[in-house]
Structure 1
């Protein structure tokens, strides 16, 4: 089986924070539906996490000159932040893509990448 990461790079964190428990449950239900669809196609979720944009977060940057800089907050140099991800195993990429389409009902962008084995 091939392993993939399924990422959510465009979720609106302010909208999530302002959401109700029912709003959050609707997202969790869609994520659970993805899991059921993936399992029915021979795949499995093997890991994952939701990532917060908290004040306690720190970003560690190591530079080529051996210096290290620690800053407050997840300030990656990108326009988008990853709000969460699943690690999945699946034999057929097309089956994963089919199952992942349901995720777009809760996540505006779903990015799927194979995990490189070293």
Structure 2
């Protein structure tokens, strides 16, 4: 069963870090991916550019980002394979973002196509 982790974080928090602190956070994410890969649970993942670089498209037009009225933005994602929600939550607790932001865990439905 697939799950997506949406990494909600305050972009200003990361930007305020020094280079060495940023490198340490990135290294934690690489270690997290390695742990997922060791258990054959990693499908994909990627960081996202800052929210202000995005666009929101709807029938009424295109808006510049950010969109959420929140200090947190979606800063990246992981797609993982787990047996169930319990296992996915166990992995989410280990995600580095859980230390300074929030990890939204959502099942990916299989519609058979």
User: What interval of TM-score do these two structures reach, taking the shorter chain for normalisation?
Assistant: 0.7 to 0.9
| 8 Å contact kept, 1:33–1:102 | no
Is it true that 1:58 corresponds to 2:37 in the alignment?
A: no
**Counterpart selection for 1:97 from 89, 93, 99:** 89
Number of the residue aligned with 1:5: 4
Task: Give unpaired runs (5+ residues) of structure 2.
Answer: none
For 1:90 and 1:23, how far apart are their aligned partners in 2? 31
Q: CA RMSD in A?
A: 2.3
Match among 94, 97, 112 for residue 105 of structure 2: 112
CA contact (8 A) 1:6 1:110 kept: yes
How far apart, in 2, do the equivalents of 1:54 and 1:99 lie?
Answer: 25
Point out the structure with the larger helix share. Answer: 2
Output the TM-score relative to the length of structure 1: 0.72
For the residues of structure 1 that align with 2:61 and 2:14, how far apart are their CA atoms? 30
Say how many residue pairs are matched.
108
- Bigger Rg, which one: 1
Q: Distance in 2 between matches of 1:101 and 1:86?
A: 13
The TM-score normalised by the length of structure 2 is: 0.75
- State the distance in 1 between where 2:19 and 2:83 align: 35
SS of the residue corresponding to residue 73 of structure 2 reads: coil
